[in-house]
């Protein structure tokens, strides 16, 4: 079974591509969903986050107030590193657990992981990295249409992430998502075939 990491900037089309891979037969693991899970009450990183950042990051319903926490860590690099050192080990352990639970009949696991470029040195060692790439202006238009995010919020998120060039530098395959969904689908199918060939290569 080949292990693939799927990454890309905010709104580049990772989830759309992951869905197509799933339809082609991949076992998809969503690192973002796991990142949310570990900071839920009872999650492996919840208590540590509350201890480090204080009760101000817990909302009245007892969950982490993601907006309050994001405001702190986007403004303070040390706070961001502290949050990462609390959450990354828990996220990596849960990813490993899920990947190990992939059905034996499955030919590829695809880990959808937005921050792969930013967390180099982590314990994620895929056999192939697939990067979804789209021009900033296209991403901003799609995010404006699909999310409750202002243009300036979206730009701030883009600027806090790795650049397109940094992502492409770690890619084995780049999927261009600058145009239609059908063009996207054709490319994903081609990459899928090549991934399966990698698996059968000696």
Between CA 4 and CA 132 the distance in angstroms is: 13
Stretch that binds ligand ATP, among 3-11, 36-44, 50-58, 193-201 (CB under 6 A): 3-11
DSSP conformational letter for 162: P
Between CA 48 and CA 41 the distance in angstroms is: 11
Least separation in angstroms between residue 91's CB and ligand ATP is 15
Binder to ligand ATP among 15, 63, 127, 161 (CB under 6 A)?
15
Residue (11 or 48) nearer to ligand ATP, CB? 11
Between CA 168 and CA 120 the distance in angstroms is: 14
Least separation in angstroms between residue 16's CB and ligand ATP is 3
Q: 161: exposed, middle or buried (C-beta count within 10 Å: 0-12, 13-18, 19+)?
A: middle
Each residue 170-199 as x (binds ligand ATP by CB under 6 A) or -, in order, gives -------x--xx--x---------------
CA nearest neighbour of 11 among 191, 148, 170 = 148
Contact positions vs ligand ATP (CB under 6 A): 8, 10-16, 114, 142, 146, 177, 180-181, 184
């Amino acid at each position: 079974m080949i292990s693939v990491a799927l990454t890309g900037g905010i709104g580049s089309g990772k989830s759309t591509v992951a869905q197509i891979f799933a339809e082609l037969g991949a076992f998809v693991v969503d690192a973002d969903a796991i990142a949310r899970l570990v900071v839920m009450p009872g999650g492996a990183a919840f208590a540590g986050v509350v201890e480090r950042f204080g009760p101000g990051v817990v909302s009245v319903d007892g969950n982490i107030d993601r907006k309050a926490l994001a405001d702190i860590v986007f403004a303070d690099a040390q706070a961001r590193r502290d949050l990462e050192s609390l959450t990354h080990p828990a996220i990596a352990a849960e990813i490993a657990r899920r990947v190990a639970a992939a059905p034996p009949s499955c030919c590829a696991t695809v880990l959808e992981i937005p921050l792969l470029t930013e967390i180099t040195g982590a314990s994620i060692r895929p056999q192939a990295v697939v990067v979804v790439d789209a021009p900033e202006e296209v991403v901003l238009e799609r995010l404006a249409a699909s999310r409750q995010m202002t243009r300036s919020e979206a730009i701030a998120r883009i600027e806090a992430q790795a650049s397109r060039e940094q992502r492409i530098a770690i890619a084995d395959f780049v999927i261009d998502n600058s145009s239609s969904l059908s063009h996207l689908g054709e490319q994903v199918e081609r990459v899928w075939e090549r991934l399966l060939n990698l698996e059968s290569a000696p």
